Amino acid sequence: MKDIIFSINLGLIGTEDSKLEIFIDYLKEMALKYSSKNLIYEFFLQYEGIPIKLRIAIANEFEDLIHKNEYFKHFDAIIIAVNLYNINSISNYSIQSFSDFRNFFNFNGISVLVGVDTFLVFQKEPPNKRNITEFNLIQKTKELEFLYCLKIQDKKKDLTDLFNKVLNYINLKLKFLNPELFKRAKSNGEESNGRGSL
């Protein structure tokens, strides 16, 4: 019987100073194997015994993801990363641009707004003031009608929390939609090597 691997599509959006590479580097460490081409990454990993192929499209804004429709017919998750010290990194995103994206892909997956403290992540002394506060993050999360709002300060811990939240949400959805297939995938995953589990 052929192994079952769930395929998950994730849009990772952010400006150049949002340090999207920390998300990719984290997944590279966790993955059994990975590949990349033209800002599209594929990671093969296991999450709670489930084999997963995680495909990620890197973009600056929602419109960039729409232009990737040749490679992505749908998205299961969206993460917007904003640099907490650059007020412009949060103002780029509007409910209209998200609505256009949502309508184009018929998107109903998990959406997360992430504030990246670029100083604490790289263990540098931060300035006295962040340009984007927790209040700003929460307001933007509500405005965009996103499900979650998180901050990345401790690279390992916070990225683990983020991807656990995203993958757990998707796993629960898969389990609910097709319990039998989910059970078979889990039993296949537990029989194979557990390296690369998140």
**pLDDT of res. 181:** 64
Tokens standing for residue 80 = 């917007």
Q: Which amino acid is at 183?
A: K
**Does residue 69 sit within a domain?**
yes
8-52 confidence digits (pLDDT tens): 999 999 988 899 999 999 999 999 999 999 889 999 998 888 888
Convert the pLDDT of each residue in 53-85 to its tens digit.
Answer: 999 999 999 999 999 888 999 999 999 999 999
**CB of 84 within 8 A of CB of 136?**
no
Q: How many domains does the chain have?
A: 1
Maximum C-alpha span of the chain? 58
Q: Is the pLDDT of residue 91 over 70?
A: yes
**34: domain CATH number?**
3.40.50.300
CB atoms under 10 Å from CB of 134, counted, come to 12
115 has pLDDT over 70: yes
Question: What digits encode the pLDDT tens for the residues 147-190?
Answer: 999 999 999 999 999 999 998 888 787 777 666 766 666 666 55
Asked if residue 93 lies in contact with residue 62, where contact means CB atoms within 8 angstroms, the answer is yes
For residue 85, what are the contacts with CB-CB under 8 A and spacing of at least 6? 118, 119, 127, 130, 131, 132
Answer yes or no: is 195 within a domain. Answer: no
Range of the domain at 99: 6-188
